[in-house]
Amino acid sequence: MTESAPTLKDLTSRGLVYAPGVWDGLTARLADQAGFSALCASGFAVSAALGLPDAELYTMTENLNAVRTIRESSKLPLVADIDTGYGNAVNAARTASKFVSAGVQGMFMEDQVSPKSCPICVGEPVDLIDVAEATGKIHAVRDSIPDDVLLIARTDSRGDDAIRRAQAYVEAGADMIMPVTKTFETIEEWERCHQEVGVPLMATLTASTWTERDFTPEVLDRIGVRLALLPTQVLMAATGAAQEALRRLARGEAPAAVSADALSHHDFVNLIGFPEVEAKQRKYLPAESNR
pLDDT at 121: 59
DSSP 74-103: --S-EEEE-TT-SSSHHHHHHHHHHHHHTT
On whether the CB atoms of residues 108 and 145 are closer than 8 A, the answer is no
Residue 127 appears among annotated catalytic residues: no
Q: Characterize 211-240 residue by residue with b for buried, 16 or more Cβ atoms within 10 angstroms of its Cβ, and e for exposed.
A: bbeebeeeebeebbbbbbbbbbbbbeebee
Catalytic residue (one of 10, 24, 54, 160): 54
| Interhelix angle 274-284/265-272, nearest 10 degrees | 60
Q: Percent of the chain beyond pLDDT 70?
A: 96
Spatial separation of the C-alpha atoms in residues 223 and 16, rounded to whole Å = 11
Return d(Cα 286, Cα 270) in angstroms, integer: 24
- Spatial distance between the Cα atoms of 258 and 244, rounded to a whole number of angstroms: 9
- Residue type present at position 282: R
Rg (CA), the chain: 21
Q: Report the C-alpha gap between 68 and 75 in whole angstroms.
A: 11
CA 178, CA 12: separation in Å to the nearest integer?
A: 14
The predicted structure's pLDDT at residue 289: 65
Determine the Cα–Cα distance for residues 16 and 228; give it in Å rounded to an integer: 7
Tens digits of residue pLDDT in 116-139: 877 665 667 789 999 999 999 999
State the distance between the two ends of the chain, measured CA to CA, in whole angstroms.
Answer: 39
Q: What is the pLDDT of residues 236-288, one digit of tens each?
A: 999 999 999 999 999 999 999 999 999 999 999 999 999 999 999 999 999 77
pLDDT at 47: 95
Q: How far apart are CA 143 and CA 89, in angstroms?
A: 11
Helices 131-144 & 89-101, crossing angle to 10 degrees? 30
Longest dimension (CA), the chain: 71
The yes-or-no verdict on residue 235 having pLDDT over 70 is yes
Q: How many residues does the chain have?
A: 291
Phi (first) and psi of residue 127, to 5 degrees: -85, 135
Q: Which residue has the higher pLDDT, 161 or 116?
A: 161
**Residue 166 pLDDT exceeds 70:** yes
pLDDT single digits (tens) 187-213? 999 999 999 999 999 999 999 999 999
Average pLDDT of the segment spanning 74-88: 97
Please, which pLDDT band fits residue 1 given cuts at 50, 70 and 90?
Answer: very low
Domains in the chain (CATH in brackets) are 8-238 (3.20.20.60), 261-290 (no CATH)
Q: At what angle do helices 159-172 and 131-144 cross, to 10 degrees?
A: 30
pLDDT tens digits, residue range 42-65?
999 999 999 999 888 999 999 999
Residue 5: pLDDT band by 50, 70, 90 thresholds? confident
Residues 6+ apart with CB under 8 A from 171: 135
SS3 assignment, position 253: coil
pLDDT of the residue at 148: 96
DSSP count for the chain of H helices, then E strands: 14, 8
Average pLDDT, rounded, for the chain: 94
Among 150, 50, 134, 61, which Cα is nearest to 100's?
A: 150
